[in-house]
Structure 1
């Protein structure tokens, strides 16, 4: 599909004038509007690296009527490991606190278009909202909504944590990627009406690490007064709450490993160490992470964005209570073969200790010991796994999706919020996925992006469009609008399943018991850091 377009100006009132694009189809029919790389915060550069995002000041203007700010490209790409790294980071830009905004054609409803705030995935290490192509989604599918897709800081730049720096440097903060997302969400709430959106109808959704982020954004939103709450509904696609993140003390070990790789002396004062970090080129930081044992940079339990004992809030019912109080509905689910893709992300070398060290790059040490005892009671590779790499893919998929997603759903049901949950499972994939993943991988991780976004730039056949609309996009359109969703399940623990032959079945969850075993095993580890009662 070609990307023919024409200019599309919009008056953002007190924020000034912007110019985006109207994408055109092959018959010159308008498909949708697009604004790429609209800033939601000031650039986090120079001395502002490793600081919280700074909101746009009241006097900030994008442009004037005579000279509107042109947003026709995309968001800045946060420096990251992956294909772009091999190109020398030529497309990287730490000035990435920006969003892409997609708007349907036509006159908005009287209350404004529903809004989907979409968080991209990538293990919190890589990714970009620029990979979305929503032209066909907005032009053809039953979902008519504005989509706001923010970029946010990733890996070291977004999730480096140090208890020492946090305690001694007032201009240093942690969980910056999550704070960026929240800032983008706040910007959306304050500005989306100028694009024709309904600020009172915002669904927060995401895929993979984006879904993981949705849980933490939802948890944060449930923890603020109702007057400051923004989220009306949530989509958690192929990821769950994960475990309680590492403590700041555990994260300090990773930070010290980074200092050693970068040759930043431990004898320097914390402020001097921070200055050295800020003066280090982004490419050098990414290369340093490649040399580390603890090479994954994720959220930490800081008592601010991530509360101590956060997952206990699911078990004790406070999470469910707040969701019921706000009538906040959730779509959550999985693909049947997630593990194939998961097994490709920096898998360990063969051996028990190598597996332990790899898991410790992501999860708290005590939790990793529990995982190793659960999966490898004899310290050997069980016969059900073909290799240590395959075992890693299964463990990663269980922790990120299968087991902990079920633990979360079960806890919400147990505490009376079952009527708010819509669960699904996908065993089918479109033929356009074949050019990306082997057919033997089945419905693996991200293969369903073609379902949720009507091909996401690829072409669905007429039969595939009927399957996708019937299975999910019809119900999703109603969900985004806040209408009653015809999900078909009789109770919250059943699954709406898209079978491999393209039919929809309402099924019992055959993996529930297995998932809850791991959830309850990990629950014994408890909260990280200082033990405190978890409160909402």
Structure 2
């Protein structure tokens, strides 16, 4: 969409003044939305320490010298995907949000709020690659969008006993710093969104891919708190799931030790010296070393603070469902019809062998989970019909099943089998590509993971064709707008959790009886490690 911008001064009351931008349609000069970027939600923090909330007297600027909020949020140092490494904007001080606000007067009670967490396998990405101009200016959605930057990869998810002792010395927890960053940004949103005309009592947390995975963990943490501390009313889990119980500290320690070895830091050094050397390494060198080891994926740890050590057990025994039902949470979740293609391209196995596939998956999931999965999928150690190689077909298939297809259905099963009504769950399936997706994702990849970014964000800065707008609006974005508003009936059309609302390839809307359900239940029920993260009987 062709747009123009002009400065927009906004008062944040006791927080002072900020200057953002008003986006307008270039052809008509019609205002589309306001944009405020790089708004700080937390104070700078030392590497692998928790960020602190802003003090009560923190001010962004004065009317005469307002805080400049026209550039993007800080970008956590990160590896590249499908292109060269882009170091522009890199900063470990990335505790900022981008905020998109509708034009005009807020409704009574304030605008609903969409807190959106970007994806990228928890290893890369930023909120700067998203545009709210089309969604807020040309679709049925009228909501404030808050997009946080947060620490990623080795900066956001490294864990070890050394870091644990270091954090304890200052009264902190360790590990899962990226999740704590997201939570801090969510609390900032609750406390400050009224200054933009938002309703702090009407916050939906959403995310795509790793952002959807993050959404699940943010919801889980939120449900563990007393009701008066709860923030989340609804959640959108777009193309992801709980996946598996995160690794326990001993396996996370192996990753830490491998990083030390890659950086030639002796493991026998005192804890304080090891951390001092790690903290002195420049971001680029640290990132190169972190991605060079066997354990190159930095993901959450079952630390007992943010991530319960019994998280998957709570799914199985109904405790999670009970809290979900008590808080009356509504959940919108689903998938594209060809998730595996893009998944297969992220750090694929180094060789075309079963052993290489196992090694790659262990970088992602607990070893016990990986071994149980491989025994289930490949009981004779051979590729089944339809899969031609281990390093692409098999990897993409099992990776997409874990991250989306199978375990997302396991989550739904865990909810409805313990009393959550079908009416609380809205499932979708996308089988249509919009043309502008071709600018980033080759058409021959089909409706793969991330092609529907351009649907959920109404072109995400590109232009949807008129026929696409009609189809997308009718199928998904109209109902999404009602979902965010908190309407009781969003016109979804499904009658049970076994049905999915489908945006078909021709733009028509249908209701699909889930053809993957029984196979998903076989995976969910046959692999005990997926449910409780502990060793148990083999198949």
Tell me the TM-score normalised to structure 2 length: 0.95
CA RMSD of aligned residues (A): 1.6
Displacement of 1:329: 0.2
For residue 499 of structure 2, the aligned residue among 485, 494, 510 is 494
SS at match of 1:174: coil
Within the alignment, does 1:4 sit opposite 2:9 as a pair?
Answer: no
Per-residue Cα deviation, 1:148-204 (whole angstroms, up to 9, x for no partner): 000000000000011343135535721000000000000000000000100000000
| Equivalent residue number for residue 475 of structure 2 | 471
SS at match of 1:246: coil
| Equivalent residue number for residue 227 of structure 1 | 228
Displacement of 1:43: 1.6
| Equivalent residue number for residue 381 of structure 1 | 383
Displacement of 1:321: 1.2
Within the alignment, does 1:452 sit opposite 2:464 as a pair?
Answer: no
> Is the contact made by 1:16 and 1:61 (CA closer than 8 Å) also made in structure 2?
yes
Pick which of 252-261 and 90-99 moved more: 90-99
Measured in 2, the distance between the counterparts of 1:458 and 1:234 equals 26
| Equivalent residue number for residue 438 of structure 1 | 442
> Is the contact made by 2:113 and 2:144 (CA closer than 8 Å) also made in structure 1?
yes
| Equivalent residue number for residue 534 of structure 1 | none
Within the alignment, does 1:254 sit opposite 2:255 as a pair?
Answer: yes
Per-residue Cα deviation, 1:225-269 (whole angstroms, up to 9, x for no partner): 001000000000000111000001110000000000011111211
Displacement of 1:377: 1.3
SS at match of 1:367: helix
Q: Kindly report which structure 2 residues correspond to 1:78-97, keeping only aligned pairs within 5 A, or say none.
A: 78-82=76-80, 86-87=84-85, 89-97=87-95
Per-residue Cα deviation, 1:79-108 (whole angstroms, up to 9, x for no partner): 000069945724311111100000001110
SS at match of 1:301: coil
Pick which of 399-408 and 90-99 moved more: 90-99
- Once superposed, which parts of structure 1, at least 4 consecutive aligned residues long, lie more than 6 Å away? none
**Cα pair distance change 1:322/1:87, threshold 3 Å:** closer
Within the alignment, does 1:52 sit opposite 2:54 as a pair?
Answer: no
For residue 362 of structure 1, the aligned residue among 361, 364, 372 is 364
Per-residue Cα deviation, 1:412-460 (whole angstroms, up to 9, x for no partner): 1111112210011111111111232233322110000111111111111
| Equivalent residue number for residue 148 of structure 2 | 150
**Cα pair distance change 1:302/1:317, threshold 3 Å:** same
> Is the contact made by 2:245 and 2:530 (CA closer than 8 Å) also made in structure 1?
no
> Is the contact made by 2:244 and 2:533 (CA closer than 8 Å) also made in structure 1?
no
Per-residue Cα deviation, 1:103-156 (whole angstroms, up to 9, x for no partner): 001110010000000000000000011010110110110110000000000000
Measured in 2, the distance between the counterparts of 1:152 and 1:491 equals 36
Measured in 1, the distance between the counterparts of 2:89 and 2:196 equals 28
Measured in 1, the distance between the counterparts of 2:82 and 2:401 equals 29
Measured in 1, the distance between the counterparts of 2:270 and 2:425 equals 50
Measured in 1, the distance between the counterparts of 2:83 and 2:283 equals 10
Per-residue Cα deviation, 1:379-427 (whole angstroms, up to 9, x for no partner): 2222321222111011110000000000000111111112210011111
| Equivalent residue number for residue 514 of structure 1 | 519
**Cα pair distance change 1:90/1:498, threshold 3 Å:** closer
Within the alignment, does 1:395 sit opposite 2:423 as a pair?
Answer: no
Within the alignment, does 1:289 sit opposite 2:287 as a pair?
Answer: no
Measured in 2, the distance between the counterparts of 1:76 and 1:155 equals 15
Measured in 2, the distance between the counterparts of 1:495 and 1:530 equals 34
Measured in 2, the distance between the counterparts of 1:77 and 1:386 equals 38
Q: Kindly report which structure 2 residues correspond to 1:317-356, keeping only aligned pairs within 5 A, or say none.
A: 317-348=318-349, 349-356=351-358
> Is the contact made by 1:248 and 1:529 (CA closer than 8 Å) also made in structure 2?
no
**Cα pair distance change 1:169/1:530, threshold 3 Å:** farther
For residue 523 of structure 1, the aligned residue among 512, 523, 528 is 528
**Cα pair distance change 1:488/1:49, threshold 3 Å:** same
| Equivalent residue number for residue 423 of structure 1 | 427
> Is the contact made by 1:164 and 1:252 (CA closer than 8 Å) also made in structure 2?
no
Measured in 1, the distance between the counterparts of 2:177 and 2:382 equals 39
> Is the contact made by 2:80 and 2:86 (CA closer than 8 Å) also made in structure 1?
no
Per-residue Cα deviation, 1:15-50 (whole angstroms, up to 9, x for no partner): 111111101111221110000110100122xxx110
| Equivalent residue number for residue 19 of structure 1 | 19
Displacement of 1:521: 2.3
| Equivalent residue number for residue 482 of structure 1 | 486
Measured in 2, the distance between the counterparts of 1:133 and 1:202 equals 20
Displacement of 1:59: 2.2
Measured in 2, the distance between the counterparts of 1:525 and 1:202 equals 30
